[in-house]
Amino acid sequence: MNSIRYIILLTSIFLTLIFLTGCWNSNELNQLAIVTGGGIDKADDNRIRFTVQIHVPSSKKDSNESLGSTSILWADGVNTADALSKLQIKSPRKLFFGQMYVFIINEKFAKENGVRDQLDFLARVPDTRLRNKLFISEDSVDQILSSKTELEKSSVETLSGISKKLVVPAIDLNYFLQMQEDKGQSAVIPKIRMMEPDQKASNSMTPAIVGTSILKKDRIVGEIDVETTRGLMWFRNKIENPMITIVLDDEKGSVSFKTLHARTELLPRIENGEWKMTVKTLSSVDVVQNATNLQIPKPDVTEMLEKKLKEDLQKRLEQVVKQSQQKFKTDVLGYAEAIYRKYPKQWYAKKDHWDEIFPEIETEYDLNVKILKPGEYVRHRQ
């Protein structure tokens, strides 16, 4: 009986050891080249250039200085996969994409070759995060990634900070792939350019947001400036605490507001066989500065300012609709997806003619703005 127990015990221990094999496929940190940023350009002979920024840890143990520097590597290939394989050959360590924050696509490349195939490959690279922020650049990827700034340790950190400014919609890899699957088959990506610094004491150029690139299917068809992009953010429900300033000529001053909440809903309908769209917005704001002699807490003044805010918002929205329908003929507004959700049968019947239908859709506006906190301070001017 004891021998049977002994055999059972040894068998249990043996089976347990089989499942305790350890991390057989683990990678030590000192064996990895940590990629923090990357991008693609068009190289000679119609090849693709894949450029990466690699974090180089500092050898100093006790230091208040930066914890490391960066290095730039690049390689050319017939496609992104081929360029990446050659890039790996150049690196003495295994390239690790788990800490990559931004991915940049050269504007010329995007216009001529499109971006979907390259980003589809990127999404399949092991360890790559789908939260990588995307940018379109007028300059080469190498020029962007090699740039230095006085406030940040690397250009990647600069771009990561820029994406949080909410001046233009922050587009990551996951959101881009979702937009490409929408019925309108369009997308937007923030556009950057190397700019002269504001500080006179600095001679280095830094990347800065200059607008938003408009993509139809996967190729760039145009761009809109930062001001127009703010209207686009309402359609995309990407509004997060922006500042709005209304200039009042009659009062010889201005009033600034902070948006607390904003929501946009697209309401399609069919009238006499024609598709129409109502853009409905609900938003609430606080007064953050009153540079006029208006007594904002008064109901009539509050009502007047809410009307001014609606007029300003409608002007922004109309500008985006006009450029989308007439200039680019590209549905970056989400009209196709809204129509498909409410009228799937009608959509499938006419989807092959969407490029002709979209520019003709009439848009109406139902805007609601509420000033929640007008403030108690009453300004008196002499």
Does 187 share its domain with 258?
no
pTM of the entire predicted model: 0.83
- In this structure, the strands spanning 219-224 and 206-216 are antiparallel
Q: What is the domain extent for residue 210? A: 28-224
What pLDDT does 326 receive?
94
Query: Domain tally for the chain?
Result: 2
Phi, psi of 46 (to 5 degrees): 60, 30
Percent of the chain surpassing pLDDT 90: 40
Tens digit of pLDDT for each residue in 192-235? 988 876 655 455 778 888 889 999 888 899 999 988 988 998 99
Residue 326 belongs to some domain of the structure = yes
pLDDT attached to residue 56: 81
Residue 22 lies in a domain: no
Contact call for residues 167 and 222 (beta carbons, < 8 A):
no
Structure tokens at 145: 């990634």
Same domain, 175 and 53: yes
Are 217 and 342 part of one and the same domain? no
Helices (H), 136-250: 141-146, 155-162, 173-181, 226-235
What would the two tokens of residue 371 be?
């000033």
Whether residue 153 is found in the same domain as residue 290: no
Classify residue 55: in a domain, yes or no: yes
CA 98 – CA 115 distance, rounded (Å) = 21
Kindly report the average pLDDT of the chain as a whole number: 84
* Residue 4 within any structural domain of the chain: no
Residues 270 and 154 grouped into a single domain = no
CATH number at residue 356: 3.30.300.210
**Hunting for tokens 């015990």 — which residue is that?**
9
Averaged pLDDT for residues 263-280: 94
Domain identity same for 326 and 206: no
Q: Assign 312 to helix, strand or coil.
A: helix
210 belongs to a structural domain: yes
The whole-number pLDDT of residue 82 equals 92
Q: Do both 219 and 249 map to the same domain?
A: no
**What average pLDDT score do residues 287-301 get?**
87
In a domain, 10, yes or no: no
Mean pLDDT confidence for 75-97: 90
Residue 229 belongs to some domain of the structure? no
Do 350 and 279 share a domain, yes or no?
yes
Please write the tens of the pLDDT for every residue from 137-189.
999 999 999 887 767 778 888 888 777 766 677 788 888 888 878 777 788 99
pLDDT at 59: 59
Per-residue pLDDT band at 374 (split at 50, 70, 90): confident
- Out of 168, 202, 224, a domain closes at 224
* Assigned domain for 6 exists: no
Domain termination residue (choose one: 191, 224, 257)? 224
Confidence of residue 63 (pLDDT cuts 50, 70, 90): very low
**Statement to judge: residues 160 and 250 lie in one domain:** no
| Tokens describing residue 234 | 């309402």
Residues 294 and 192 in one domain: no
Is the separation of the CB atoms in 182 and 166 below 8 Å? no
59 and 206 fall within a common domain: yes
Rounded mean pLDDT, 304-326: 94
Q: Are 147 and 28 within 8 A, CB to CB?
A: no
> Both 70 and 105 in a single domain?
yes
Last residue of a domain, one of 224, 256, 285: 224
Tell me the percentage of the chain whose pLDDT exceeds 70.
85
